A and B are shown apart, each in its own frame.
Chain A
Amino acid sequence: MKKLKNFLLSIVVISSLTSCSKNDDHPVANNITLHFSNMFKNKAIVLGDANSSTATVNTSAEGQTHHFSELKYVISNIRLIKADGNEFPYHINDLDKGATVVDHSKTPTLDFVLTNIPAGEYRQIRFGLGVKQELNTLDEVRFPNFYAAAGANDTEMHWEWGTGYRFTKLEGFWDLDKKELSIHTGSTIQGTEGEFTQGVDAYRDITLDLSTQAIVGKNSPKITIVADFDKLLSGKTNTLILGPGNATPSVHTAVEMVKFVDNLGGDGTSDMTGMFSIGGVEN
């Protein structure tokens, strides 16, 4: 009898162990890696100072040459849309977990790993270029990690007077004599809806259809998001000419900023992609 009991017991134990490993074959969640690929048309961007011979030089539609020494932008409010249309929000109210500063000079920041994504097939990704208004308050206590990452000396993505974050920070040089190029974008909105409101909304929501569905499950897919900075000046919305009034558009000023914002992030109505496109999906 004892022998039978032991035998039955060992069958139960073994089958429970094997059923565990069966579950490992079909995980309920896995990661998705977003890889940001910053380009000038079909050339990968190489940063450089004024006299750099290795920096990638781009020529705009109006024939103006330019290259970057700094390239940073904020991505947040990420939502993944399944094949069946259901939307999975990724920590959209938590800048510490759900937002990132993509800094072209720091290669690790070009990959943003989304964790614990429910298994399934995804056909579309939506995200924000910048920080949505409700969270754009430089609240250090609420989101200390994002605040610190954005505010670090080598990053400088705080917009103090606007009590918000910089959404993009582009520094570089243009024209043969390497004039300074400095373009920062951010929102200056104040006031509550229904009352007096003022300011410019520089946040843009991007919608990208995945060329191939991303399948989360046994594998963890990698989605390459291309950011084509040729669109900065030669955008779908605006063709811009750099000049004394806008190349360093009073660095923190909103006057010329919106034109750059519409080029980079779309105009929010007819153009929902701006400079972004899907470079590929690896499952």
Chain B
Amino acid sequence: MKNVLGALAVMYLLLLSCNQEEEMTPVLPHNPEIELDIPAAFPPMNPSVEANKPTKFGVELGKKLFNETMFSANNSISCASCHQQPKAFADGRARAVGIYDRAGLRNTPPIQNMAFMKFYNWDGNLLQLEKQPLVPIITHEEMGSSISEVVTKLSAVPEYRELFAIVFGKGGITPERIYQSISQYEYTLISADSKYDRIQRGEGDTFTESEKRGLHLFEQKCAGCHSTALFTDQTFRNVGFPVNPDRDEAGRARVTGDPSDYMSFRVPSLRNVEHTAPYGSFGQFQTLRAVLDYFDKGVIAADNLDPILKENGNRIPLTESEKKDMIAFLKTLSDSNFISK
């Protein structure tokens, strides 16, 4: 009799604990897609966005990862260390600096409007944003780590385990999921609310006289390359800037093997250019004025120098006052909402 009672007691307790376990399993919140606010006249989105649409928690997770120093070997830097929001996600340095002050090859590019880009990085080596995060993680001069190391570190943090489960379901933390969530966050970094944009939308702002003159000069002298609503036509050109002495540098030719691409770089977007000094593929120019002075004086000749320059005496001439007007106009491309938290 005692044995039977004992057995029944054990069974009852087991049933109780089973029920308790069921009650303790958290119900994961719903993870809806986020509607991206696509600015008028922007180019079509990269097809990768369709396959990795930003979601509420995907973006939250991506942002958290973007700011996570565990991505680096010595836990000292995160993506945000080089991609700082007040600088339109550039870093104000000529060349990037990684762990242990290691110097990078090139100038940190800003992160804005990535969803609308066909190529990523100065030489366009990547066509899909999801393929980018691995590069700084493993590069010796950047984070000097490995994706397995990052996965291990993240997996030890309950908050990450939960966020990954909310966004991706079962299967834990994987490299692909890390790249996807970071990319989802970056897709939401859209900048289209500058003074220039407000004027385009007829929201009441007006250009000053100087800015207006600058706009006309821009259309004559710059829009041949810095065209479209992104202020880049996303082509690769050699514009005769001072050459990077690092022997690893070959511009787009590094990717294509085509000598005619030697020292050609992607035309950078001029949005928020006021905030993304220094300028050039390895930060050759400290100020916009310095860039314009350089174009005015004359660029370095090259066989594959862009025709726009080659056919015009290797220069873009501008008078003193034209330069001032041009800079005034370029400042109207600054989006203060984009650079502040």
Interface set of A (CB-CB < 8 Å, partner B): 138-141, 144, 147, 151, 158, 160-163, 188, 190-191, 195-196, 198-200, 248, 250-255, 257-258
Contact = CB atoms under 8 A, between A and B. Distances in A.
Closest 10 CB pairs of A and B: A254-B257, A253-B250, A250-B250, A200-B257, A160-B139, A255-B253, A253-B254, A190-B127, A140-B148, A188-B255
Given A144-B148, A200-B257, A254-B257, A138 B138 contact: yes
A135 to B, nearest CB: 15
14 contacts: A151-B146, A160-B138, A160-B139, A161-B139, A188-B255, A190-B126, A196-B118, A198-B256, A200-B255, A200-B256, A251-B247, A252-B248, A252-B254, A255-B262
A151 B145 CA distance: 11
A151 to B, nearest CB: 8
B256 A199 contact: yes
Interface of B: 47, 118, 124-128, 131, 134-135, 138-140, 146-148, 151, 174-175, 247-250, 253-259, 262
A191 B131 CA distance: 11
A254 B126 contact: no
A190 to B, nearest CB: 5
A275 B232 CA distance: 45
Contacts of B134: 138, 163
Contact of A160 (B135, B151, B249): B135
A191 B135 CA distance: 17
Contacts of A140: 146-148, 175
B247 A198 contact: no
Given A160-B140, A248-B247, A198 B255 contact: yes
Contact of A254 (B118, B138, B248, B254): B254
Contacts of B262: 255
A163 B139 contact: no
Given A138-B134, A140-B148, A160-B138, A198 B124 contact: yes
A179 B256 CA distance: 27
B35 to A, nearest CB: 26
B148 A141 contact: yes
B141 to A, nearest CB: 9
Contacts of A199: 125, 255-257
Given A147-B146, A253-B253, A254-B256, 11 more contacts: A141-B174, A160-B140, A161-B135, A188-B257, A190-B131, A190-B255, A199-B257, A252-B254, A253-B248, A253-B257, A255-B259
B132 to A, nearest CB: 9
Given A141-B174, A255-B262, A250 B249 contact: yes
Contacts of A254: 250, 253-257
A257 B255 CA distance: 11
Contacts of B255: 188, 190, 198-200, 254
